[in-house]
Amino acid sequence: MKVPQKPKIIFIPYPAQGHVTPILHLASAFLSRGFSPVVMTPESIHRRISTTNEDLGITFLALSDGQERPDALPSDFFSIERSMENIMPSQLERFLLDEDAGVACVVVDLLASWAIRVADRCGVPAAGFWPVMLAAYRMIESIPELVRTGIVSRKGCPRQPERPLLLPEQPLLYAGDLLWLIGTPTAQKRRFKFWQRTLERVKSLRWILVNSFKDEYEREFIIKDNNNPNPKILYVGPSHNQAATSDKTLTKNPSFWEEDRSCLGWLQEQKPNSVIYISFGSWVSPIGESKIRTLALALEASGRPFIWALNRVWQEGLPPGFVHRVKNQGRIVPWAPQIEVLKNDSVGCYLTHCGWNSTMEAVASCRRLVCYPVAGDQFVNSRYIVDVWKIGVRISGFGEKEVEDGLRKVMEDEEMGERLKKLRDKAMGNEARLCLDNTFTIFKDDICG
């Protein structure tokens, strides 16, 4: 008797840590619901994530991205864009057209929208994966309206950064928060085009799986929106929490770099709620060396215990003698076991760039946030953290007074702790799990039914 095959789902993440991790969590949730997931990444990432999770039942496949050194991680947005548009499509196309592969659906990170076109050409249904909160997607979706109303020019430049965007069903976001405002004016225009192209491609999707939970600001809007057949918004996040409740979880956190676990023992010896955890995610470059130096001096002056996740290249730029002077005050590690650090009760707050995964990991552990957003969706996340959820404060620089004021405000605000607990229960509780179950039912009915 022929054993019925499990529906095969291909996952295509954007090649960066903050995208690969949630897509792997999602793939493991699909695995435990009876699907057969295949994760395709460039060679350099494949080498880092496949071996640690090879027994799991997820298939890992490598794509060439045309890099001269296949072990070098892709790091520059525009060179990644080039290889995604020019080198990767034919490889995915060959796979999808191979009848033996029997692919039921492709789940495409919306930052890798090249794969939507390939799936369309091959006649395979595609779902989008939006790795951050829905509010950031609303910004992209509103591009035509933002241009029409003159809030941004036809090349995406905001006429006044402080002008409110007034997106439907969203709290106040401003023109200066737009996702593409990173780097030089030329780079910003290019990113704007990237998003316009993405928006065109999204039109053929059946679903968008959002790595978030239903926030009440969005609830009404989604109900209305789901009357609109394509693409349907489905909530599947926050992914690390969903994966933790699946039958089959990743055996190891899919870090691209080795975690320095030495700080966990030190953390154990510190007083409850005393330690500041500092990390700006996997791309520190937008912050720059001189700000890192200023922050180092502010931390030293605060006298507070800290753990700072800072990669080796940036560590070289720290002020002379700093590492020696703070050896009893704190720990500096190139890559921290972040989820475990945040879970530790010695941590009092998290000085963060407001990356979405980091934000949700902090909420899961009820850690207050001192926000210093630097790029992309981080500005939107920080508006939610500070203005909507009120679980953190924002600082605009790393001067001694500014850092100390920010730390004091969050550490002393009792109500912030209560609000965090409520948000954690909403974001990580039963409702989020029901949303994920609902997604699987819809998937099974639409793809397999």
Interface contacts to ligand UDP, rule CB under 6 A: 16-18, 21, 255, 279, 281-283, 309, 335-336, 338-339, 355-358, 361
Minimum CB distance to ligand UDP smaller for 282 or for 439 = 282
CB 238 within 8 A of CB 364: yes
Residue in this structure with the two tokens 């203005």, named with its chain if needed: 387
Closer residue to ligand UDP in complex, CB, 75/153: 75
Give the residue with the Cβ less far from ligand UDP, 314 or 443: 314
Q: Do residues 49 and 24 make contact, with C-beta atoms less than 8 angstroms apart?
A: yes
Nearest distance from residue 187's CB to ligand UDP, in Å? Answer: 17
| Structure-block tokens of residue 279 | 């990390």
- Residue 92 tokens read as 């995915």
Smallest gap from Cβ 243 to ligand UDP, in A, equals 11
Report residue 335 as tokens: 């890559």
Decide whether 283 or 440 has the Cβ nearer to ligand UDP.
Answer: 283
Q: Where are the beta strands (DSSP E) in 118-268?
A: 126-130, 207-210, 232-235
Q: How far is the CB of 382 from ligand UDP (least distance, A)?
A: 12
Q: How far is the CB of 8 from ligand UDP (least distance, A)?
A: 27
Look up tokens 């909403």; give the residue: 426
Cβ 233 vs Cβ 213: under 8 Å: no
**What is the closest distance, in whole angstroms, from the C-beta atom of residue 130 to ligand UDP in the complex?**
13
Give min distance, CB of 318 to ligand UDP, in A.
Answer: 16
17 or 113, CB closer to ligand UDP?
17
Going by the DSSP 8-state scheme, the letter that residue 446 receives in this structure is I
Residue 191 or 232 having the CB closest to ligand UDP: 191
Helix, strand, coil shares, percent, the chain, to 5 = 50, 15, 35
- Of 294 and 357, nearer to ligand UDP (C-beta) is 357
Cβ 355 to ligand UDP, closest distance in Å? 2
Nearest distance from C-beta of residue 7 to ligand UDP, angstroms: 28
How far is 248 from 24, CA to CA, in rounded Å? Answer: 12
3 state SS for 194-220: HHHHHHHHHCCCCEEEECCCCCHHHHH
Question: Checking DSSP bridges between strand 330-333 and strand 306-309, what pairing results, if any?
Answer: parallel
Nearer to ligand UDP, 103 or 371 (CB): 371
Amino acid at 210: V
Rg (alpha carbons) of the chain, rounded to whole number: 22
Task: Return the ∠ at Cα 62 (arms to 65 and 3), rounded to 5°.
Answer: 145
